[in-house]
Amino acid sequence: MNKILVIGATGQIGVELTAALRSRYGADNVVATGFNQSPGDALVKSDPYCHLDVRNAAALDRIVEEYRCDTIFHLAALLSAVAEEKPQLAWDINMNGLIHVLETARMHRCAVFFPSSIGAFGPETPALDTPQVTVQRPTTLYGITKVAGELLCDYYCHRFGVDTRGLRYPGLVSSKALPGGGTTDYAVDIFYAAVASQHYDCYLRADTRLDMMYMPDAIRAAVRLMEADGSALRHRNAYNVTAMSFTPEQLAAEIQKHIPGFRIRYKVDPARQAIADSWPRHMNDEAARVEWGWRAEYDLPVMVKDMLEQIELKLHKG
Ligand code: VAH
């Protein structure tokens, strides 16, 4: 990777991925793009940033041409809960955006990173120890775009030789940029509520177990996968990766070890509960471990301690 384009750089993953790539490859070698007209507080204003609607193929092509990009991290998408409210828009952004990225990558010989998700699985998928290769019949529009995205990335690899690689991320917990419209967002919102008011109304049931990962692990996984020897990759799109699996009840109990007065209540949102119930509980990530050396570094206690410290700083520094 020499010249990198991050699409969706102002999002929950994009903000931290852009910073990590700029630190590793040099700020001038990482072009950040987002739907926002300006990077806002999320990104360093002095470093390369372009407004980009990923549905505009010509604009995407111009940016790749101008900056001579050889690698594209394509993060722009509508997440699960929002996509259920706007399925046609989600299909347009998630699928037409992806085909424009793959076509541009084909013409400019770029490698492509595509984030899939546990959302790519459905009710028929084995919920525990979910295999790398298994039934994928998601019941959400978001999940359908993730399965189709995985297959499209595989197609561009074997049909056109595009170096496509991807990860099936679990719910991601981060302190730098807020998540935008996902089902697992509770696992981020709860920290802000705990620090600000010591209570949180959770929209998922107390026993809703889901795979989760702390953002530093998610960023390291994406960079390590894109730097891996391509000849060793059998599963390319997209590797199961996980770090922990917990319920809202377990997360709240861990927070209470630091904030004894913290209380959680449950006001279940049927729509997001139905999405969460259709996803697996814990993925098997052996293929990622064997093929490119994946290892998580953050578990629940370490993540909670660090998140609370980061949110305290963020809410009380200014
Ligand atoms: C969502 N955070 O909730 C995303 C993610 C595994 C879930 O894809 O939609």
Does domain 173-211+243-281+298-316 bear CATH number 3.90.25? yes
State residue 178's pLDDT score.
87
Residues of the chain scoring pLDDT < 70? 42, 318
Q: Do domains 4-172+213-240 and 173-211+243-281+298-316 have the same CATH topology?
A: no
State residue 37's pLDDT score.
79
User: What residue type is assigned to position 318 of the chain?
Assistant: G
State residue 318's pLDDT score.
55
Query: In terms of CATH architecture, what is 4-172+213-240?
Result: 3-Layer(aba) Sandwich (3.40)
Main-chain phi, psi angles of 242, to 5 degrees: -150, 170
State residue 146's pLDDT score.
98
198 alpha-carbon distance from chain centroid = 28
Q: What's the gap in Å between 68 CA and the centre of ligand 1?
A: 31
Of 12, 79, 168, which is best to mutate to test ligand 1, by the most ligand atoms within 8 angstroms of its C-beta?
A: 79
Question: Which residue has its alpha carbon closest to ligand 1 atom 7?
Answer: 171
Domain ranges of the chain: 4-172+213-240, 173-211+243-281+298-316
- Tens digits of residue pLDDT in 139-152: 999 999 999 999 99
CA dihedral sign, ordered 9, 223, 183, 203:
negative
Radius of gyration over alpha carbons of the chain, in Å?
19
Point out the catalytic residue in the list 49, 142, 186, 214: 142
Helical H runs in the chain? Answer: 12-25, 57-67, 80-85, 87-91, 97-108, 141-160, 186-197, 215-227, 248-256, 270-277, 286-292, 300-316
Pairwise CA distance, residues 307 & 75, whole Å: 23
Kindly list the protein residues whose Cβ atom lies closer than 6 A to any atom of ligand 1.
Answer: 79-80, 117-119, 142, 170-172, 179, 182-184
142 annotated active-site: yes
**Residue 148: CB atoms within 10 Å:** 17
Q: Is the peptide bond before 194 cis (omega within 30 degrees of 0)?
A: no
Of 142, 214, 283, which is best to mutate to test ligand 1, by the most ligand atoms within 8 angstroms of its C-beta?
A: 142
Ligand 1, atom nearest to 171 Cα: 6
298: alpha, beta or left, given left = phi > 0 and alpha = psi -120 to 50?
beta
Please state, in angstroms and as integers, the Cα–Cα distance from residue 247 to each residue in 51, 164, 260, following that order.
38, 33, 19
- Tens digits of residue pLDDT in 173-196: 999 988 889 999 999 999 999 999
State residue 39's pLDDT score.
78
Which helix (H) or strand (E) is 173 found in, with range?
strand 171-173
Task: Assign 263 to helix, strand or coil.
Answer: strand
Enter the pTM of the model.
Answer: 0.96
- Tens digits of residue pLDDT in 269-290: 999 999 999 999 999 999 999 9
State residue 316's pLDDT score.
86
CA dihedral sign, ordered 272, 151, 169, 87:
negative
Pairwise CA distance, residues 144 & 94, whole Å: 10
